[in-house]
Amino acid sequence: MEDNIIKIENVKFKYGKEDNKYAVDGVSLNIKKGQFTAIIGHNGSGKSTLAKLINSILLPTEGKIFVKGMDTSDDSKLWDIRQTAGMVFQNPDNQLVATIVEEDIAFGPENQGVEPSEIRKRVDAALNTVGMYEYRRRPPHLLSGGQKQRIAIAGILALNSDCIILDEPTAMLDPSGRVEVMETLKKLNKIGKTIVLITHYMDEAVQADRVVVMDKGNIRLDGTPKEVFSNLDAIKKFGLDVPQVTELAQVLIKEGVDLPSDIIYVKELVDLLCQ
């Protein structure tokens, strides 16, 4: 069994032939099966491009990407790759196809030519996993942003994808919608799905197993949330924020409170302060 579900080997990519700047500039990254990885970086850091490269929507200019051992530039494997690494996009409105929730979730398996009775089973299972079963007959435009994004995730689940790549799924949601989506992702990770979450929000990134920081098309930091966010200066240099709790802890340390410098969870700080 292959341990790394996604292998990125020294990949470079530029959008136009004449562009002299690479959007992704020599990235190498391995993602283990079952891992929850967050990729962060400010606008134009190449993180969304990287996601599209993994899903074979874009092909690398140089280098290779393997999804479960399949080369993304191999045309004959295209549909297997897209099935293995399902992708959820930023705008919840622009990725739902059908006029009824359950029809939309069925869209993926229908494209694969799955038997009708099997599609029914998958759709029901996916709806239950994201907790939207009672909404199955609603038209998507009457749902909230968080609910729409959960439907989009369910649509990928129905494809039986091992890995789910999410390109800023919470960017257009309100805070409660963001929490909904994060809870769903954590639940999926628990049942063994590999999650690659591209995000702007540090509070979401700290919930991952691993955080990758991108800047100018390259990976700058890579490690557990604690390792990455204790690098306060580096993070600020790449135009990113640290989680609010970390910021607060740093201020407290400056004021002379005795605290470790790698606090990233609210609970952690509360426990330490209340000792």
Partner 1 sequence: MFKNLTIGQHYPVESPVHSLDPRVKIIMTFAFIISLFLIESFVTYLYVIAFLAVAIISSKVPFKFVLRGLRPIFFIILITFIINILMTPGNVIIFELGFIKITDAGLRQAGFMALRLTLLIMGTSLLTLTTSPILLTDGIENLLNPFKKIGVPAHELAMMMTIALRFIPTLMEETEKIMKAQKSRGADFESGNVINRAKNLIPLLVPLFISAFRRADELAMAMEARCYRGGENRTRMRQLKMEMGDYVAIFIFVIYFAMIIVSKIW
Q: What residue ranges bind partner 1 (CB under 8 A)?
A: 55, 57, 79, 82-83, 86-87, 89, 91, 93-100, 102-103, 106-116, 119-120, 123, 139-141, 155-156, 159
Give me the least distance between CB of 79 and partner 1, in Å please: 5
Cβ proximity to partner 1, 25 vs 110, nearer residue: 110
3-state SS track over 250-263: HHHHHCCCCCCCCC
Give me the least distance between CB of 157 and partner 1, in Å please: 11
Sign of CA dihedral 153, 208, 240, 252: positive
Other beta carbons less than 10 A from residue 7's beta carbon: 18
Structure tokens, 185: 């992702």
Q: Are 23 and 197 in contact (CB under 8 A)?
A: no
Give me the least distance between CB of 200 and partner 1, in Å please: 18
Cα atoms in the 13 Å half-sphere on the side-chain side of 176: 2
Cβ proximity to partner 1, 159 vs 208, nearer residue: 159
Structure tokens, 81: 């790759």
Cβ proximity to partner 1, 117 vs 275, nearer residue: 117
**Which residues does residue 222 pair with via DSSP β-bridges, in sequence order?**
212
Exposure b/e, 189-205, CB count within 10 A at least 16 = b: beeebbbbbbbbbbbbb
Cβ proximity to partner 1, 5 vs 228, nearer residue: 5
Query: 3-state DSSP call for residue 248?
Result: helix
Give me the least distance between CB of 125 and partner 1, in Å please: 13
Give me the least distance between CB of 141 and partner 1, in Å please: 4
Cβ proximity to partner 1, 17 vs 141, nearer residue: 141
